[in-house]
Each structure stands twice: as C-alpha cells, then as structure tokens.
Amino acid sequence: MFEEEYKRRHVFGADYGTSDFKYGPITLGERPQVVENRGYFPERSIVSAIMGVEREVVVGKDVALFLESGADLLARLVYPMRSGVIAREDSRAWRVVEELTRYALSEFKPRVSVGFSGFYVVAALSAVAPGYMYERFFEVFARLAEEGLVRSATVIPQPLAVAIAHRTTSCVVIESGHGNTQVTPISRAPIRGALVALNRGGADANAITAEILKDAGYGDLAKEESFVRKVKEQLGLLPLELDRAVSFARSNPSAVRKPIKIPGTRITVDLGENSWARFLIGEYVFDPNKEVFESYFRRGLPRPRDVKVGDAIFHGTMPLSEAVVAAVERCPVELQPHLYSQVLLSGGNLSWIPPPELKGIAVDAATRLRYDLQNMGVEGVSVRLSEEPQFAVWRGCIVFGYSVPHDYLWSWERMEGWMRFG
C-alpha cells in the first residue's frame, strides 16, 4: 500500500518530442515544463574553466547562454530526436538525452529528500522507435537511479499516451510535431503493422512560410527559424478547400490581410498582396501535392521525400487523409468502423485556429480532416482535436503512471510495465 501511494505522488511524465521536451511530475496539473530537445557541446576554454562553468554538454534553458558564433555552431548543437529515432551508436545524441533527463528530474527533486528515493518515470517515444531505444533509455534510467532520481521507469509510444489521455481504447491517433507525423491505429495497444509515418511536420510548415516571407520582401529575416515560426503561428491558415480559399482571398484582399508586430521588436510583417499565401501554410501540412507548390519546389523548397529511418518508411507527399485510410485499411475489417469513429489529433502542428471572419473558408484541423475523409467515401467518421494538443502526450504519461500498479513489472514480450531499480 505504501509503495502504491508513493508512486501516485511521484509520477513523472517525459515526452521526448522532435523539437520540444515536455516534462514534469503529476503535481504540475495540466501543463508540463517545456524546453527545446537539444544539447550544445561548447568548445573548451581556459576562461570557462577559471569561471567554473565548463561543461561537456549544456541542455535546457542554459543553452542560449553558451551558444558561440562560428562555422561549427551547427555541428556543436545536437537535436537527438530527429524523426523520432536515435541511431544506436550516436553517442552525442544519447549523451544529450541523458543530460536532458537528469536536468528535468533534478529540477523537481524535493529539496528535503527525506523519504524520497526517485520518481516513477513514464517516458514517451515516437511510435517508430526501435526496440534498442527502449533498452538504451532503461540504461539511462538505471544510471539516474544511482543518483536517487529514478525509482522505477517505463516507456510507451506517444500515440498510446494520447489515447490514454482521452481514455479511448480503439482509435486512430495522429500525432504531428516538429519533425514528422505518425498515424497510428490503436486497439488497446498500437497496431504497429498498421502505422503510417509521414516525413512532414512543423518544420515543413516553417519552410513554406519562409518562402512566402521571401516573396513579400522579408528575405533576410526568413533565415531566422524562430522568427519564421512566430510568423507561421500568427499568420498560417488551414483552408477547407484550397482553390476556393485562394479565389476568395484574391477577390477580398482586405479580408485576409493581417499585419502583425513581432513582440519585443520594431518589426511589423505585412504580406500585402501576397496575403492569399497564408492558406498555403496549413495546406502544405495536409497535402503538398497541389500544383501551386510546384513553383516553390523549382525555386529550392525541399520536396518532402520518402525516407527510411531504422525499419520504418516515412512517406513524403502522401496527403494526410490518404495516410489515415491506408493505416486503417491495414487493420481487420471488423475493427475499421470503430477506428474511423474515434480519430484523435495531437501535436502543435495540428493547432490551426480559424479566425471568425473567415468562417467556412479557413477551418481547424479536425474539420478539414473530417471533410477530406468524407470526400474519400468514409462513413461514420468522427475527428476531434485534443485540448492543448501539444501537451496531450505528457498528460497521457501522467494518467498511465498514476493508473498502472507499481507491481506490474516490465515485460519485454509485451513491452509494458515498470522497470524497477534497486
């Protein structure tokens, strides 16, 4: 009884996203802490040694304080979870993951540690993460257990965490983050043979936004990723039908023109006569095959390609609706209606907010996907967006950790349960 109560008080969620790492204990409530999932390996210097700030790798909010200029900046800045997979022998990426996990757990370790012997950690990884990543994460947790930070740990796929957060056992989870999009049918557990991965995410929406900014005369600023991301989040629109939206925008330019000011700067962005292109940002996420994108590809915008990461194929230009149908149709026919009736959207890349004045022209992601699936002949489809979709995985980690009994031990056959340390 004591152990179960201890677990419930010290559940800790850790969502290892491609761009952001969301983490924190159950006591945070609805929102986790968020830092970029990256690490920086600074050049060793005598000044750093004298000042007592010399580090092998820097993670968390301190990264910005250590960044140096120079041609090797990008080589020193490591994003470990590109495409959701870390190569087995990528020692620097694994070093970043371990230090980032230590950073997160240390932030919430009780100052008065009497009676505290580590967290119950629930780590969420991409659905395409291979088995060796589970093994390596448990090795990381074992080392952190020696430091009194981890008592038990488990690893679950991110789409399963979303389903758990919604307490839904049969569904399709679409998790779309910075690097890619996972379409995962779930029937009590992810149906791995049915998973469809897309090589498109928030980074691709950023890329088309940068091209639009160049056309509007903001070429120099379009080189800064943080600036482009802010513009995308404030100006990006998802059309119900691209051709109709563009036609409306060209006929009613004042209805879609929206000058924005970048907070903390003197910069104002006004797309002017190019304001119709706001609809391209959301469309690119859903279907990059539209003819309007060909001119951008000819000018150098990278076309999303099919790539193989580990054993998984990430499709490039497959429309999102086709990916859903392809995933569901790999499942038993009897199960398919249940899957279509519960499609859950998660991830910041699906957080499209239509302005009221563009009702019926611009829509949210759930409305667009439902419309596309119905046009493909899918009946009885229901699509909903998670509340605060960027945090759904973390919340699922917390629910899972709170609910699973402490004595349900890890099984490599089932790939579930608690790995206990000490």
Joined tokens for residue 163: 């389903």
Sign of the Cα torsion 71, 36, 223, 201 reads positive
Name the phi and psi angles at 11, rounded to 5.
-70, 140
User: Measured between alpha carbons, how far apart are the two ends of the chain, in Å?
Assistant: 19
Phi-psi group of 173: left, alpha or beta (phi > 0 → left; psi -120 to 50 → alpha; rest → beta): beta
Options 3.40.50.1110, 1.20.1090.10, 3.30.420.40, 3.40.50.720; CATH of 2-38+79-166+391-420: 3.30.420.40
C-beta separation of 250 from 276 below 8 A: yes
Neighbours of 64 (CB within 10 A): 10
From residue 215, give the alpha-carbon distance in Å to each of 25, 285, 297: 45, 20, 14
Common-topology check for domains 2-38+79-166+391-420 and 197-311+313-385: yes
| pLDDT the model gives residue 221 | 87
| pLDDT the model gives residue 263 | 81
Single out the residue of 245, 205, 204 nearest to residue 355, CA to CA. Answer: 245
**Domain extent listing, the chain:** 2-38+79-166+391-420, 197-311+313-385
Q: How many residues in total does the chain contain?
A: 422
| pLDDT the model gives residue 74 | 62
Helix (H, G, I), strand (E, B) or coil at 174: strand
CA distance 98 to 215: 42
Options 3.10.310.30, 3.40.50.720, 3.90.79.10, 3.30.420.570; CATH of 197-311+313-385: 3.30.420.570
C-beta separation of 166 from 344 below 8 A: yes
Pairing of strands 58-59, 39-40: antiparallel
Reported pTM = 0.85
| pLDDT the model gives residue 421 | 92
Single out the residue of 115, 61, 154, 172 nearest to residue 401, CA to CA. Answer: 154
Rg (CA), the chain: 22
**DSSP string across 268-294:** EE--GGGGGGHHHHHHHHH-TTSGGGH
**DSSP string across 118-173:** -EEEEEEE-TT--HHHHHHHHHHHHHHHHTTSEEEEEEEEHHHHHHHHTT-SEEEE
Block means of pLDDT (10 residues each) for the chain, length 422 residues?
90 92 92 91 61 71 66 72 86 95 95 87 92 96 96 95 91 90 92 89 93 92 86 96 96 93 86 95 96 94 82 86 96 96 93 93 97 96 91 94 95 94 80
Single out the residue of 99, 106, 102, 23 nearest to residue 57, CA to CA. Answer: 99
From residue 308, give the alpha-carbon distance in Å to each of 2, 132, 312, 314, 341: 47, 17, 6, 6, 31
